[in-house]
Chain A
Amino acid sequence: MTERRLWSWLAVAMGGLYFLLPLVGMFDFSMRMQRDGYSFEAYRVVLADPQFQQTFGYSVVLALLTIVLGILIVVPTAYFVRLRFPGLRPIVEFLTLLPLVIPPIVIVFGYIRIYNTSSVLPMTGSWWGTNLLLLFGYATLSLPYMYRSVDTGLRTIDIASLTEAAQSLGAGWARILAIVILPNVFVSVLSGAFLTFAIVIGEYVFAALLNVGSFGPYMVWMGGNRAYEPSALAVVAFAITWACMGLIQLFTRFSKFSTVRR
């Protein structure tokens, strides 16, 4: 028994060393911009960089739009599949898992071939079109996370009764979805949303290949041209990931609590 515990501590300690050192190294490096000791100079330089503000702001807006689009596509689908088309379930599940199977670089390659300037739908030809295509691309990448969390949320509520009750009060489909179903699964939607946010903020391949100036390409550009600022950016990105995952934990705990009470 004690021998087993010794091995366990050893495994966790080795793992801890491997996982903590890069975080320490990243933080340490980001603080060394000034030669006379630790300082937040790299963070100050990065945060004051207008290009950082612009690209980061762009990525945040894009991430929020992705979440909205994801909700608009996924919530009605998950709802109707559960309520009316249980037979479609395997197909929808398969489709939503595809973005995890097909490498993102292949998906974006497909976009460039189909929606290029000489195609039927030349989305990459205009500024708006390109941004829209990126938005659709990110919504595609977020499908697996969004669908899974919304579907899990729907499982915990009795959607058939809620629907009938709402209909007997004269509500139409849009109204039912917006003011009955969505609030009920909101906590689950949020966990999918935070994951989407974390993914979109740092995404590089889609943005780089569609030539869009978002946060990911900015980070890579920084990595090639500066020494200390990239580490500061990595710390910022890691903090965002932590914040998103922390919020997911918080909300899922909150949702467990509320289902127990119900």
Chain B
Amino acid sequence: MTTSVASLPAAFKPRQVLSWFGVAPFFLFATLFLILPTLNIVLGAFRNAEGQVTLENLGKLLAPSIRSAFWISIELSLLTAALGCLFGFLIAAAITVGGLPRPLRNAILTFSGVASNFAGVPLAFAFIATLGRLGFVTMLLRHWFGINLYGAGFNIVSFLGLALTYLYFQIPLMVLIITPALEGLRREWREAAESLGANGFQYWRLVALPVLWPSLLGTLALLFANAFGAVATAIALTGSSLSIAPIVLFAQIRGDVLNDPHLGYAIAFAMILLTAIANAIYIFLRMRAERWVK
């Protein structure tokens, strides 16, 4: 065992073949449970029951009920993405450049981590218990302020109710993503702007926002995709009474309505297309944002 250390590395170079066995399970797994299922959907969207290539399925998306479901989904995702961006930005600005005590900043970031993962069924229950017919806030408003929410036309099982619920995971996600970008704003920029006589509003409009806008738009796209794919919250809240695209697809798969698998393919394909575009925008803008905010 007196081999010199210098000659060892060459002998130790493991055969490349062996290393391939290390990554092969991952690629096999990804192929079987990620790529093939998705490919099956995409190809299925362009084929009819006999296996011939056709655009017929995509044409079915134009049926009024499907079109309106997609439209409501897009509106819901856009609205909650925009409001999530706005309020998330305000909170992130407050805890980064707003001069609030540091422990509060950490507490809010931790809570955002939890709340952005508190989606799905339990979130729907929380909102029913709060803003449902017998909910905490509903009762509070009625007894203390004499405001009858449901008399005024509000219903948690509605577009507005769903939007309000989605914001519970949209705002924290925005806070988590935009906080690092806001921290990247250098103090010198603000000082330089102020020494040139700019007020706070001018600083934001002419310096901070132009630097931040790729991050802001990118996050908007990400939040859009995030809301668009959410199903469980909507089902637990509305019990599929509100017809949004993922719920229509859910019903399609369950075979409750129509039961045309190729229409299901088309709906799923359209959903992939929309979330993929939104994510591509996010990735592109994020790369642009990183040029500035380092």
Q: Is the CB of B117 within 8 A of A198?
A: yes
Tell me the minimal C-beta distance from A243 to chain B in angstroms. 10
Closest A residue, CB atoms, query B19: A84
B-side contacts of A4, CB under 8 Å: 97-99, 200
The answer to whether A216 and B121 touch (CB under 8 A), given A102-B272, A245-B110, is yes
Looking at chain B's contact residues, the main secondary structure is helix
Q: Is the CB of A105 within 8 A of B229?
A: yes
Closest B residue, CB atoms, query A103: B229
Q: Is the CB of B120 within 8 A of A204?
A: yes
| Alpha-carbon distance between A72 and B28 when the two chains are bound, in angstroms | 13
A-side contacts of B120, CB under 8 Å: 202-204, 216
Using a CB–CB distance below 8 Å, which chain B residues touch chain A?
8-9, 12, 14, 16, 18-19, 21-23, 25-26, 29-30, 32-38, 40-41, 44, 87, 90-91, 93-95, 97-100, 104, 108, 110-111, 113-115, 117-118, 120-131, 134-137, 167-168, 171-172, 200, 225, 228-229, 231-232, 235-236, 239, 246, 249-250, 253-254, 261, 264-265, 268, 271-272, 275-276, 279
The answer to whether A233 and B246 touch (CB under 8 A), given A4-B200, A110-B37, is no
Tell me the minimal C-beta distance from B264 to chain A in angstroms. 7
A213 at the binding interface (Cβ < 8 Å): no
**A75-90 vs B: 1/0 string, CB under 8 Å?**
0110111011100100
| Alpha-carbon distance between A9 and B93 when the two chains are bound, in angstroms | 11
B-side contacts of A110, CB under 8 Å: 36-38, 40-41, 268
B-side contacts of A60, CB under 8 Å: none
The answer to whether A19 and B90 touch (CB under 8 A), given A8-B100, A164-B12, A204-B232, is no
8 A Cβ contacts from A42-95 to B: 72-74, 76-77, 79-81, 83-85, 88, 92, 95
B-side contacts of A231, CB under 8 Å: 125-126, 129
Looking at chain A's contact residues, the main secondary structure is helix
Sorting the interface of chain A by its residue count into under 10, 10 to 19, 20 to 34 or 35 or more gives: 35 or more
The answer to whether A164 and B121 touch (CB under 8 A), given A12-B104, A77-B26, A111-B33, is no
